[in-house]
């Protein structure tokens, strides 16, 4: 049971341990040998996470009635196939998913006919496997390692239902380049002799932020720089007692904080309010970000949610006719109106528009809650608090208490839920350069981060842990933004409320976006250099992503047809909000699979 009352399911609840990992290694060894290149038609899926797994099922199902041998080569940088880096089965159990288990299902009846006749959703799967007397509920949470085990189980099921003429070969090799061949086919330079009739790129969060800091910091002798906190075992190199700067205060920062405290033997105590007992092995953490604001946490949200009042499919359909749109003039005013209505309709317990409007009109402007108070709560912190740190502690305690009430009872959480619920509608307007170029740039730079901060936060239990770490002094809060890193010949220093703090390590805990022209991923940089992809440009705004057609196929610089498609994170920029576990959002993997029968069996 989690400290905040919600059940948190881990691998221990289903009796998973070293034996399961040994079984996986044996399975991987049996299915990782590349067959002779001349005996099969070949397809490639690059990326071993959930999107790669989902695409694999779609490919096998699309080719199940084929007449010739086909081998799908599934590439990943390591052998954590199906789970990928986010859901590694060997990661610590205190690293949690940030939404409840009721939303997770590998298989859906909405798919066209599948080779897999049925497969349980995560709630059903846990219920069938658990050794606990507790029964899973849709609102519960789970460790990411347990979700990885569930994903891997789906892979086992797929192998059990493979048609005789199809093989899947898992290849633990990073793909960093491609060569075009006649007929739109592709070769990978490290694998001579293999010709791929179609390639799907589902490389996940494969970008890095290494270009964000000067070499004098990242390459300073004796200074530890982590361009990513994952896998968190890398952070074991940080000595106890050292001062560590952490860039980013979002979900990844929570993982960093827990890995360097609970992961080093520290213990949390209590239920409603947690306290922290250090082990003595912790470093001191100095987080900072552009806003220096933590995320708003959330409880498991499944059955009972806020219902949008102004934002609707009809609203989105009307705006589609006006594309390209300006986010601040076409969308933001209605979004702001919805946020206010969510807050006050929940406060009053009434969805009667006139009653809500009359109540708001009677409030003095300074007392009225609005989108600015939700997104930018630190604007006037000096009026009530002696320090920015005192404001942050009070803000965290308040948002934790409100999150525990739930969005149907807390006005703040109802307002915070608006963006989460409205995102699929806005995504319809955003996709394929649905905003003007300048609005596209402004949305990504100024709005997407603050909106995500309030709507997609961590589970309450993890934010309670972070607050306990702050109160224990293990986490040292930043001052009013912006915080800055400085370097001289001797040391790296971070600006803090009372001056400068020397730090011996820097962890970049942001999720990097694609920056194609900066080359922050080797594969996409090489494809760009060869003209095999083109940078996405909206008017004069260079998005940083690759250009895709509406089926997810890459657009080459010459306009030639190349049988290379993208799915998941590589499509960000073209589309908005690629949930790594969703099979419904922007399902380019299914669109790719529809092309495979022709490419494999009807083209010579």
The answer to whether position 306 is within a domain reads no
3-state secondary structure of 352: coil
Same-domain check for residues 425 and 541: no
The answer to whether position 299 is within a domain reads no
Residue 472: which residues within 8 A CB-CB, separation 6 or more?
A: 275, 276, 278
Same-domain check for residues 270 and 287: yes
- What long-range pairs does 516-519 form, CB within 8 A, spacing at least 24? 516/544, 516/545, 516/546, 517/542, 517/544, 518/211, 518/544, 519/211
Residue 19: which residues within 8 A CB-CB, separation 6 or more?
A: none
The answer to whether position 418 is within a domain reads yes
Residue 571 contacts residue 588 (beta carbons within 8 Å): yes
Domain of 496, CATH number, reads: 3.50.50.60
Structure tokens at 405: 């009430």
Residue 206 is predicted with a pLDDT of: 86
The answer to whether position 444 is within a domain reads yes
The answer to whether position 282 is within a domain reads yes
Q: How far apart, in whole angstroms, are the C-alpha atoms of residue 260 and residue 239?
A: 10
Same-domain check for residues 379 and 442: yes
Q: How far apart, in whole angstroms, are the C-alpha atoms of residue 174 and residue 524?
A: 12
Q: Which of 410, 427, 455 is the last residue of a domain?
A: 455
| Helix (H) / strand (E) containing 566 | strand 564-566
How many domains is the chain partitioned into structurally? 3
| Helix (H) / strand (E) containing 29 | helix 18-30
Same-domain check for residues 239 and 191: no
Task: Name the DSSP letter for residue 363.
Answer: S
Q: How far apart, in whole angstroms, are the C-alpha atoms of residue 137 and residue 125?
A: 12
Task: Give yes or no for a cis peptide into 231 (omega within 30° of 0).
Answer: yes
3-state secondary structure of 460: helix
* Closest-CA residue to 118 (of 129, 127, 106, 126): 106
Same-domain check for residues 109 and 221: no
Task: Name the DSSP letter for residue 456.
Answer: S
Residue 156 contacts residue 27 (beta carbons within 8 Å): yes
Half-sphere exposure of 138 (CA within 13 A, CB side): 8
pLDDT tens-digit series, residues 378-425 = 987 888 899 999 999 999 999 999 999 999 999 999 999 999 999 999
The C-alpha R_g of the chain, in whole angstroms, comes to 25
Q: How far apart, in whole angstroms, are the C-alpha atoms of residue 533 and residue 554?
A: 6
CA distances from 459 to 100, 400, 404, 455 (A): 9, 10, 10, 12
> Phi/psi class of residue 512: alpha, beta or left (left: φ > 0; alpha: ψ in -120 to 50)?
beta
pTM recorded for the entire structure: 0.94
Residue 190 is predicted with a pLDDT of: 85
The answer to whether position 129 is within a domain reads yes
Q: How far apart, in whole angstroms, are the C-alpha atoms of residue 400 and residue 464?
A: 7
Which residue reads 């690293």 in tokens? 95
Same-domain check for residues 156 and 227: no
Which residue reads 């979700």 in tokens? 147
3-state secondary structure of 505: strand
- The DSSP code sequence of 166-230 is EEEEEEE------EE-GGG-EE-TTSTT--EEEEEE---S----GGGS-HHHHT-TT-EEES---
Q: How far apart, in whole angstroms, are the C-alpha atoms of residue 583 and residue 110?
A: 10
Residue 208 contacts residue 227 (beta carbons within 8 Å): yes
Residue 211 is predicted with a pLDDT of: 62
Start-to-end C-alpha separation, the chain:
58
pLDDT tens-digit series, residues 205-249 = 888 886 677 778 888 888 999 999 999 999 999 999 999 999 999
Structure tokens at 32: 């990782």
Same-domain check for residues 352 and 401: yes
Crossing angle of helices 122-129 and 144-160, in 10° steps, is 90
Same-domain check for residues 74 and 111: yes
> Quick one: CA dihedral 598, 599, 600, 604, positive or negative?
positive
Same-domain check for residues 269 and 329: no
Residue 604 is predicted with a pLDDT of: 57
Residue 210 is predicted with a pLDDT of: 66
In Å, how far from its chain's centre is CA 285? 23
Q: Which of 439, 473, 508 is the last residue of a domain?
A: 508
The answer to whether position 255 is within a domain reads yes
Same-domain check for residues 274 and 354: no
Q: Which of 425, 455, 485 is the last residue of a domain?
A: 455
The answer to whether position 307 is within a domain reads no
Range of the domain at 447: 313-455
Residue 363 is predicted with a pLDDT of: 94
Task: Name the DSSP letter for residue 22.
Answer: H
Residue 375: which residues within 8 A CB-CB, separation 6 or more?
A: 450, 451, 453, 454
Mean pLDDT, 10 residues at a time, over the chain (604 residues)?
Answer: 70 87 95 87 96 97 90 96 95 95 88 90 96 93 97 98 96 96 93 94 86 78 92 96 97 98 98 95 96 95 90 98 98 98 98 97 91 92 90 97 96 98 97 98 97 96 98 95 84 91 95 90 95 97 96 94 95 89 90 89 63
Quick count: other Cβ atoms within 10 Å of Cβ 28? Answer: 14
Residue 45 contacts residue 72 (beta carbons within 8 Å): yes
> Phi/psi class of residue 377: alpha, beta or left (left: φ > 0; alpha: ψ in -120 to 50)?
alpha
Same-domain check for residues 65 and 141: yes
Q: Where are the beta strands (DSSP E) in 48-162?
A: 70-76, 141-142
Same-domain check for residues 202 and 227: no
């Amino acid at each position: 049971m989690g400290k905040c009352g919600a059940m948190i399911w881990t691998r221990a609840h289903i009796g998973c341990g070293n034996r399961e990992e040994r079984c996986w290694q044996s399975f991987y060894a049996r299915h990782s040998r590349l067959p002779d290149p001349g005996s099969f038609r070949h397809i490639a899926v690059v990326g071993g996470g959930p999107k790669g797994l989902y695409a694999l099922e779609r490919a096998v199902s699309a080719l199940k009635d084929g007449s010739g041998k086909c081998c799908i080569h599934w590439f990943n940088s390591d052998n954590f196939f199906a789970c990928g880096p986010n859901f590694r089965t060997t990661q610590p159990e205190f690293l949690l998913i940030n939404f409840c288990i009721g939303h997770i299902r590998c298989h859906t009846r909405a798919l066209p006919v599948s080779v897999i006749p049925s497969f349980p959703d995560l709630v059903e799967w846990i219920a069938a496997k658990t050794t606990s007397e507790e029964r899973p509920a849709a609102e519960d949470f789970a460790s990411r390692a347990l979700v990885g085990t569930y994903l891997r189980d789906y892979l086992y099921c797929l192998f059990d239902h493979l048609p005789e003429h199809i093989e899947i070969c898992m290849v633990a090799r990073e793909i960093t380049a491609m060569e075009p061949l006649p007929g739109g086919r592709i070769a990978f330079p490290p694998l001579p002799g293999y010709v791929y009739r179609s390639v799907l790129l589902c490389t996940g969060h494969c970008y890095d932020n290494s270009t964000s800091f000067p070499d004098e910091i990242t390459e300073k002798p004796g200074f530890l720089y982590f361009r990513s906190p994952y896998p968190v075992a890398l952070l074991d190199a940080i000595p106890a007692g050292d001062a560590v700067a952490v860039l980013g205060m979002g979900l990844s920062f929570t993982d960093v904080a827990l890995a360097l405290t609970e992961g080093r033997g520290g213990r949390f105590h209590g239920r409603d309010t947690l306290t922290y007992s250090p082990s003595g092995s912790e470093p001191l953490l100095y987080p900072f970000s552009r806003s220096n604001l933590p995320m708003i946490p959330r409880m498991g949200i499944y059955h009972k949610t806020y219902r949008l009042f102004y934002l609707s499919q009809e609203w989105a359909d009307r705006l589609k006719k006006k594309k390209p749109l300006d986010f601040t003039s076409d969308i933001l005013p209605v979004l702001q109106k919805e946020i206010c209505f969510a807050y006050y309709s929940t406060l009053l317990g009434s969805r009667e528009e006139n009653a809500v409007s009359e109540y708001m009109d009677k409030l003095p402007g300074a007392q009225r809650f609005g989108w600015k108070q939700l997104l930018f709560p630190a604007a006037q912190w000096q009026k009530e608090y002696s320090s920015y740190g005192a404001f942050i502690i009070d803000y965290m305690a308040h948002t934790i208490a409100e999150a525990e009430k739930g969005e149907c009872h807390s006005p703040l959480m109802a307002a915070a839920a608006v963006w989460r619920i409205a995102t699929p509608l806005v995504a319809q307007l955003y996709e394929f350069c649905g905003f003007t170029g300048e609005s596209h740039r402004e949305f990504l730079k100024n709005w997407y981060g603050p909106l995500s901060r309030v709507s997609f936060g961590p589970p309450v239990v993890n934010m309670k842990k972070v607050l306990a770490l702050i109160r224990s002094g293990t986490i040292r809060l930043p001052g009013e933004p912006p915080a800055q890193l400085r370097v001289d010949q001797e040391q790296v220093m971070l600006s803090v409320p009372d001056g400068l703090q020397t730090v011996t390590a820097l962890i970049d805990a942001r999720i990097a976006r694609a920056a194609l022209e900066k080359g922050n991923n080797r594969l996409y940089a090489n494809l760009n250099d060869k003209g095999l992809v083109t940078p996405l440009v909206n008017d004069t705004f260079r998005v940083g992503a690759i250009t895709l057609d509406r089926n997810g196929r890459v657009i080459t610089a010459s306009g030639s047809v190349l049988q290379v498609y993208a799915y998941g994170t590589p499509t960000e920029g073209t589309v908005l909000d690629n949930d790594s576990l969703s099979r419904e959002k922007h399902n380019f993997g299914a669109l790719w699979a529809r092309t495979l029968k022709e490419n494999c069996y009807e083209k010579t």
